């Protein structure tokens, strides 16, 4: 097994699958109260070289705790659809990594690329649904960077899988040349 066998498109699939795991960690959602608390926390931070007071430090700490309690990432959401999305993200990432290892082991064929691409497309639809239909009340919930980032990585992964499938050598037998017409006399 050698990763020297991987083409550029194979590397894109592999790295995008790994990056997909990292998109589950940033905050996906918050509330308006959480956003306000985060703004208060940032405003309570003293400027460069400015003295800090105990009250200012307590405000910053309390605002940070409130903001943190309102923010959720892909691992922290408890809804049924959120669990399905998390499992789909993990499955898609696992398929992408397995595709890279399979290619490094010398296996050819477009099957795993197709399965990974299909999984990325379905997962992207689920994430898009969750962005549009936010958890909780839509008026209160705020979409953060994690969900759109995951959607972008899923798009790159699906596109790279499609390109890898196009570049796969045919595994089937060579087609027979067309028969030449018989000459009539």
State how far the Cα of 20 lies from the Cα of 28, in Å rounded to an integer.
14
Going from the C-alpha of 99 to that of each of 72, 95, 104, the distances in angstroms are 30, 6, 9
DSSP annotation of 4 reads G
- Find tokens 């499955």 and name the residue: 91
Q: Are 74 and 150 in contact (CB under 8 A)?
A: yes
| HEC readout, 126-176 | HHHHHHHCCCCCCCCEEECCHHHHHHHHHHHHHHHHHHHHHHCCCCCCCCC
Per-residue pLDDT tens digits of the chain, which is 185 residues long: 777 777 888 889 999 999 999 998 888 888 777 777 777 777 777 666 666 667 677 777 777 677 777 778 788 877 888 899 999 999 999 999 998 888 888 777 778 889 999 999 999 999 999 888 877 766 678 888 889 999 999 999 999 999 988 876 655 555 566 667 767 65
pTM across the whole model: 0.75
With 0-12 CB in 10 A as exposed, 13-18 as middle and 19+ as buried, what is 121? middle
What's the confidence (pLDDT) of residue 116? 93
State how far the Cα of 70 lies from the Cα of 53, in Å rounded to an integer.
26
Residue 59 token pair: 């405000």
Closest-CA residue to 31 (of 151, 128, 137): 137
What's the confidence (pLDDT) of residue 185? 59
């Amino acid at each position: 097994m050698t990763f020297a066998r991987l083409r550029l498109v194979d590397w894109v699939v592999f790295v995008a699958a790994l990056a997909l795991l990292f998109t589950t960690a940033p905050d996906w959602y918050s509330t308006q109260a959480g956003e306000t608390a985060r703004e208060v926390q940032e405003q309570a931070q003293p400027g460069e070289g400015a003295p800090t007071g105990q009250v200012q430090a307590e405000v910053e700490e309390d605002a940070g705790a409130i903001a943190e309690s309102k923010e959720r990432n892909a691992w922290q959401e408890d809804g049924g659809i959120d669990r399905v999305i998390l499992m789909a993200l993990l499955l898609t990432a696992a398929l992408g990594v397995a595709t890279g290892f399979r290619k490094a082991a010398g296996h050819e064929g477009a099957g795993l690329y197709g399965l990974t691409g299909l999984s990325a497309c379905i997962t992207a639809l689920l994430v898009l649904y969750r962005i549009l239909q936010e958890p909780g009340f839509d008026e209160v919930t705020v979409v953060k960077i994690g969900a759109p980032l995951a959607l972008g990585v899923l798009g790159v992964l699906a596109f790279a899988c499609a390109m890898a499938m196009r570049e796969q050598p045919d595994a089937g037998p060579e087609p027979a040349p067309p028969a030449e017409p018989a000459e009539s006399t």
